């Protein structure tokens, strides 16, 4: 493997993990998925076109792996076992952990096609065109999924007392508090 290829793969790992965790809702499974992605990428490195976006290529592989294998076990995969929250405990930003967890729970309720579109465009920093390429669909489809995802998320985070979600005052506070994070 060329050093530059390895470096590019390593550089993509943090965001691959974030994407995988968003898809799986489970850190251990997500890391397995990232590992599979790297193995698959190495085995098919010849099909990577130098000069193109390594990150987008890896995201495509990861997304396809998730769809083909993990989706079959969706019930199991999307089971929240708290390992995500556990991973956040190691992070110094304790104060936002609860808010993160609430958000993650809401995120997990989205249909996976909406969720992946939202993450790719809203967090991973891909353009609509790149996201469409990763998800193998039309740009308009991505836009529509992102819009539906946002709408559904805000509904989930605004309504308290849903069965397994419970009161989410801190998240509502965030949604109604203007000018933060600036």
Partner 1 sequence: MQTDAHIRKAGGRLSREDQRRLGDILQRVYDDVVRQGVPDRFRELLNELDDSHEAEGSGVQRSVEEDSDARSGNGNGKSSGNEERDRHRGANALEHPQNKGSS
Residues from 101 through 130 that contact partner 1 (CB under 8 A): 103-104, 107, 118-119, 122-124
- Residues 157, 169 contacting (CB under 8 angstroms): no
- Residues 98, 170 contacting (CB under 8 angstroms): yes
Assigned token pair, 92: 């110094």
How far apart (Å, rounded) are the C-alpha atoms in residues 161 and 116? 26
Q: How many residues does the chain have?
A: 182
Q: Is 1 in the site for partner 1 (CB under 8 A)?
A: yes
Size of the site for partner 1 (CB under 8 A): 53
SS3 92: coil
C-beta of 75 vs 93, nearer to partner 1: 93
C-beta of 21 vs 135, nearer to partner 1: 21
What track of x and - describes contact with partner 1 for positions 38 through 67 (by CB under 8 A)? Answer: xx--xx-xx---------------------
The single residue among 82, 91, 140, 162 that binds partner 1, judged by CB under 8 A, is 91
Q: Is 85 in the site for partner 1 (CB under 8 A)?
A: no
Q: Is 34 in the site for partner 1 (CB under 8 A)?
A: yes
Q: Is 93 in the site for partner 1 (CB under 8 A)?
A: yes
> Max alpha carbon distance in the chain (Å)?
54
Assigned token pair, 35: 């590992």
The single residue among 129, 159, 162, 169 that binds partner 1, judged by CB under 8 A, is 159
How far apart (Å, rounded) are the C-alpha atoms in residues 153 and 181? 19
SS3 37: helix
C-beta of 3 vs 75, nearer to partner 1: 3
Q: Is 4 in the site for partner 1 (CB under 8 A)?
A: no
């Amino acid at each position: 493997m060329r050093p530059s290829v390895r470096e590019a793969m390593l550089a993509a790992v943090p965001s691959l993990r974030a994407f995988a965790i968003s898809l799986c809702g489970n850190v251990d499974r997500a890391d397995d998925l990232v590992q599979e992605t790297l193995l698959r990428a190495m085995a098919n490195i010849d099909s990577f076109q130098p000069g193109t976006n390594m990150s987008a290529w890896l995201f495509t592989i990861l997304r396809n792996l998730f769809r083909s294998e993990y989706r079959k076990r969706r019930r199991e995969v999307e089971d929240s076992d708290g390992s995500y929250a556990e991973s956040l405990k190691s992070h110094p930003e304790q104060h936002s952990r609860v808010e993160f967890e609430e958000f993650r729970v809401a995120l997990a309720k989205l249909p996976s096609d909406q969720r992946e579109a939202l993450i790719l465009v809203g967090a991973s920093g891909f353009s609509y065109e790149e996201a469409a390429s990763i998800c193998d669909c039309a740009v308009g489809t991505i836009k529509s999924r992102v819009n539906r995802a946002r709408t559904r998320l805000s509904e989930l985070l605004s309504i308290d007392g849903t069965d397994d979600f419970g009161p989410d005052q801190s998240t509502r506070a965030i949604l109604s508090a203007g000018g933060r994070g600036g």
